[in-house]
Amino acid sequence: MGEVMPRVKGHAAKSRNGGDQPPPTPFLFTPYSNFGFVDDGARPLPSAVPAWLCPAIHLNGAPYTGIPLNLGVPVNMSLVIKNGGALAALTTARLYYADPTTTFTATVLAHRMIFQQTLYIGAGAQQETPAAVWTPDNTTPFHVCLLAEVGSIPLDPSTGTYDAVSDRHYGQQNINVLMVQPGQKKSFSFRVANGGRETEQFTVLVRSVGEEALHHLEKLYNSEAVSLRPTALSVQVVEPGLRRQSRQELKLQLKPGETRLCQLMLDVPRDLNAHQFIAIEVEQLPSILSEQARISTLGIIAFVSEAESQI
């Protein structure tokens, strides 16, 4: 099994370049503003900011942290929206849910809208939508991922990319919390999708979250983050009757709109304790990287289960 590696605490904060005049139109986005920098809507986000953890998506008035929801128990969902432009906007806000996936697509999100609301947001203002009651039912995934979409027609419409990493009109809480036991081999299933219009080859990587992002997660969860040795993580495609070798990355060729089920395997360190957690990032990269290339991510947080911590 993988052992916990020593980790040096990091406290560096990122800030955006300021001083520019606001855009003359509405400039809408869901802010990632509690990660040590001022989010002005520029994308992609700094590397230290986990793009899968948007604090603007609220559950019962606070940022959702990925804890599994109880079926049949109503919750209040809302979004914080920033208008960084010089023109007020009648804004349309939507919130969707999905199974764990690296890439959101229209197919993945079909019939899974939690709410759609319209609200007026002034120039330079930040505003939270009214709370909408959502009751998870037996069609709701146990590990639920959330995607926010904001836009204003005709001057600042959402683009239909569902790309929370590179498109400011989208924000995601694509995070999944696992309860594990020290020394356990834990699996987690997720989908990889092609949100483009052409067949493309992708690389799927699994790794520990970087140092700066771990510091922010420690404050969020009030626990100590630990890094894993690379050999404690592997990923594979789930295909009945076909056994594939596990490794830290794999390559997939997907048709437009196609999805494939994959599985992360985690060797939980034997010395992981109740006051620590593991943070893992799954990243989907296109075969050809460019400024227009879409990079998709999801996050996984693993804690020692309460039953185990009491032994």
Spell out the per-residue pLDDT of the chain, length 311, in tens: 444 444 433 333 333 445 578 999 999 999 998 777 789 999 988 878 899 999 999 999 999 988 889 999 999 999 999 999 999 999 999 999 999 999 999 999 999 999 999 999 999 999 999 999 999 999 999 899 999 999 999 999 999 999 998 999 999 999 999 999 999 999 999 999 998 888 999 999 999 999 888 988 998 899 999 989 889 999 999 877 655 556 889 999 999 999 999 999 999 999 999 999 999 999 999 987 665 567 899 999 999 987 544 33
Could you say which DSSP state residue 156 is in? Answer: B
| Longest Cα separation, the chain | 61
Q: Which CATH superfamily is domain 28-309 in?
A: hypothetical protein (bacova_03559) (2.60.40.1740)
Determine if the pTM surpasses 0.85.
yes
- Collapsing DSSP to helix, strand or coil, 296 comes out as strand
Structural domain boundaries in the chain: 28-309
**Encoding tokens for residue 244?**
């594939």
- Collapsing DSSP to helix, strand or coil, 216 comes out as helix
Strands 276-286 and 259-267 turn out to be unpaired
88 contacts 122 by C-beta, under 8 angstroms:
yes
Q: What are phi and psi of 215, to 5 degrees?
A: -60, -40
Residue position matching structure tokens 């494939």: 260
Chain CA centroid to CA 279, Å:
12
